[in-house]
Amino acid sequence: MLNGKHLIAGEWVGGGEVFTSAPAQGESHAFASGGPAEVDRAVQAAEAAFWSYSALSRAKRAAFLERIADEIEARGAELTAIGSAETGLPTARLEGERGRTTGQLRLFARHILSDQFLDLRHDVALPDRQPLPRPDIRMMQRPVGPVAVFGASNFPLAFSTAGGDTASALAAGCPVVVKGHPAHPGTGEIVAQAVAAAIAACGVHPGVFSLIQGVGNDLGTALVQHPLITAVGFTGSLAGGRALFDLCARRDVPIPFYGELGSVNPVFLLPAALAARGEAVAKGWAGSLTMGAGQFCTNPGIVLVIDGPAADGFVAAAREAVAAVAAQVMLADGIAKAFRAGRDRVAASGGVREVISTPCDGRSATPAVFEVTGKDWLANHALSEEVFGPLGLIVRVTDADEMEAVARSLEGQLTCTLQMDAGDTDLARRLLPVLERKAGRVLANGFPTGVEVCEAMVHGGPYPASTNFGATSVGTMAIRRWLRPVSYQNLPEALLPEELR
């Protein structure tokens, strides 16, 4: 049952104005919309919780994460029902995303049972060293403090209330204050109920987790500017993320803002692969492009091909594959409106030719594909900007040199993909140093939609793909965002953290 309230330090509270959800189907619900007063209460509680929670043993933190996963699974049917109504996502997608969400929590539980993430170091004392002795110095990673997390629109479970940012922060020993996304407030509330049940069952401080619902910018502004917040995790638009990033930088005490802002994820279809299997790649690209109405941050929005008859065949096959995709419901009315505006902007750009595009209105989206020469693409920076949704742009370059020029012109990306056969090795070797400098993940002969949650994954990249190129929001390395190194010099054994003794 939904109560439409915030969860703050173990209590369901109202406060602030009220907003009404706008589901894709079914009835809407009223929710409290928080502001500075709710933020202050939640962050103060998180600060109070930090002292005991950060000192909790890794085994007890792991058990807490496991219990959150159990409580989410216990509410599986309820989450699928409300999630589908609010977002329009199909049952299978939500059930899979729920599995990813609980899998992330359990992955971090296992990860912290090992001390690898603590990066333990010890330089033993050298009292007889000349000309000066060396003290005993030990180092480990320690949690930074209360963390603010912004729920994402496109992943109501895996990147939202108890998603990867929350899981990794709790694993690190940091309390979390979540700003729920207004596109799926009911889903967020039920997940918060699961976290609250885990808090009660494990006996941790109730301030370790709070969920504040709301609309508008004031809530997010108050959260990132609160002096007790020590870091921020965000997944969303470039404009929204950059605004929050700037606020974090302008604070009296600046804090890190870990924003994952999306990208166009270019696919480089190299000549031998184009000649041998261009039609198959076109179908695969179309499937990846339109999956989930294109609402993935790793959606492959651009594909590069060397112009010629094989490129003509690729375009024809892509057109045929995209034409078979029906209209899909988007996550929110605003997202659908922004998609149409982006599609129209691309269509009106100089040198751009329509491959396929059909009208759509309301909350639905139909895929659109356009093509442009490499020269025109290079001359128009706006064509390299993400359009969130099922829009693809085929860039026809004249030769390998122009393909490399396009690669060098790219801004930071989450992913870059090489579609290549054995005959493309030399060109791929030429492109790889460029692409690995542009992206956090480089793929061969696949498509970037679908991010494996594992030890080696990097989901981030140079700006504007993310605001911190040294971080990832997926995989166990995500925990590093909420830790900082501390050295202990000549401390008595009894004062050292247990792991350093």
Name the DSSP letter for residue 479.
Answer: G
Which of the residues 174, 297, 360, 416 is marked catalytic? 297
Question: Is 379 a residue whose pLDDT tops 90?
Answer: yes
Tokens describing residue 391: 């829009």
Is the per-residue pLDDT at 15 higher than 80? no
C-alpha to C-alpha distance for 485 and 100, rounded to whole angstroms? 30
pTM over 0.85: yes
**Average pLDDT taken over every residue of the chain:** 96
Q: Which DSSP string do the residues of 203-225 spell out, in sequence order?
A: T--GGGEEEE---SSHHHHHHHH
User: CA 76, CA 144: separation in Å to the nearest integer?
Assistant: 32
pLDDT tens digits along 119-132 = 999 999 999 999 99
d(CA 473, CA 417): 20
Other beta carbons less than 10 A from residue 475's beta carbon? 22
Both tokens assigned to 319: 């057109």
- Phi first, then psi: give them for residue 81, nearest 5 degrees: -65, -50
Task: Specify the 3-state DSSP secondary structure of 28.
Answer: coil
Instruction: State how far the Cα of 365 lies from the Cα of 343, in Å rounded to an integer.
Output: 11
**Band of pLDDT at residue 262, cut at 50, 70 and 90:** confident
Residue 12 and residue 276: Cα distance in Å, rounded? 60
C-alpha–C-alpha distance, residues 169 and 50, integer Å: 12
DSSP state of 422: G
Closest CA to 415 of 262, 295, 259: 262
In the residue annotation, 416 being an active-site residue is answered as no
Q: Which among 260, 371, 386, 402 is annotated as catalytic?
A: 260
297 is known as an active-site residue: yes
pLDDT cut 90: percent of the chain above it:
97
pLDDT of residue 286: 97
All residues at 6 or more sequence positions from 424 whose CB lies less than 8 Å from its CB, including other chains = 270, 271, 272, 273, 418
* Percent with pLDDT over 70 in the chain: 100
In 3D, which of 389, 396, 321 has the Cα closest to residue 352?
396
3-state secondary structure of 144: coil
Predicted confidence at residue 48, as pLDDT, reads: 98
CA dist list (Å): 210 to 12, 35, 199, 392, 494: 10, 14, 11, 39, 34
Residue of 482, 8, 71 whose CA lies nearest to 206: 8
Q: What is the pLDDT of residue 92?
A: 95
Q: For residue 389, count CB atoms less than 10 angstroms from its CB and return exposed for 0-12, middle for 13-18, buried for 19 or more.
A: buried
- Averaged over 203-213, what is the pLDDT? 98
